[in-house]
Amino acid sequence: MGMKRLHVWLTKEEIVPERLVGAAAVVIDVLLATTTMVTMMERGAQRVFPVGSLEEARRLRRELASPNLITGGEEDGFKVEEFDLGPLPDEFTEEVVRGKDIIFLTTNGTRAVRYAQPAGQLLLGCLRNAPAVADYLNRAAVEDVFIICAGSKGHFSYEDFLCASEIVSRLDLTGVKMNDAAQFAYDSAQNRPGEVFDALRRGRVGRYFMENGLRELLQFVGSVGDASTVVEVKDGQLRLLLESRC
């Protein structure tokens, strides 16, 4: 049994939880939630809990009561005042995260993860691990695959769709039925000129990064294939399915 149907959803608001039951789903929030969470796992975090609200983060912090606990993330683009760290992957160095538990909240990405929990298998996708995710899906015994762009508060996000197109373009689509967004993602990858980084910096958030001295961070985010890590969300926390060789 292999993939028979491929769906791309352009925002988390398109998620229909009951349609995900028994399917494989990939949540994408390139700038920055899924990139940062994949990086945390690469760098040796023990447990990572993506949460859907500040209230959930506070409750979980009380329940875990762990001396090895780190809180991180953002609300509306700003670091949460009571958290230890913000949303950037370079804040979560190996020295900071190895062996630690992390509660992570973002405006779009972690909420998309929470909404997609009914999926039979839920993966995290970013540009850095897009080839690894596609390879994993090509080998998975699943008929329905949903690629979910977190978007930005209900609006289309350039970089999330860019990542979706990178994943879709690497899938074996022989005999697969696609929705319009999946077909457009495939066509976009075939017709896109230049490097992914050149495309990434043209989006609204990419332009903001470039204009505010964050080119190096954007290059890290846009390094397609630099991570061969595949991360699953299981029982509310992240776990490694395939560990990066990088």
Number of domains in the chain: 1
In a domain, 230, yes or no: yes
In a domain, residue 245? The reply is no
Which CATH number is 118's domain given? 3.90.1560.10
Q: Which domain holds residue 117?
A: 5-240
Residue 33 lies in a domain: yes
Would residue 246 count as lying in a domain? Answer: no
pLDDT of 101-151, one tens digit each? 999 999 999 999 999 999 999 999 999 999 999 999 999 999 999 999 999
> Is position 32 within any domain?
yes
Q: Which pLDDT belongs to residue 2?
A: 87
Three-class DSSP labels, 63-125: HHCCCCEEEEEEECCEECCCCCECCCHHHCCHHHHECCEEEEECCCHHHHHHHCCCCCEEEEE
Q: At what angle do helices 180-191 and 158-168 cross, to 10 degrees?
A: 80
| pTM of the entire predicted model | 0.96
Question: What are the tokens at 208?
Answer: 């903001």
Where residue 193 falls among pLDDT bands split at 50, 70, 90?
confident
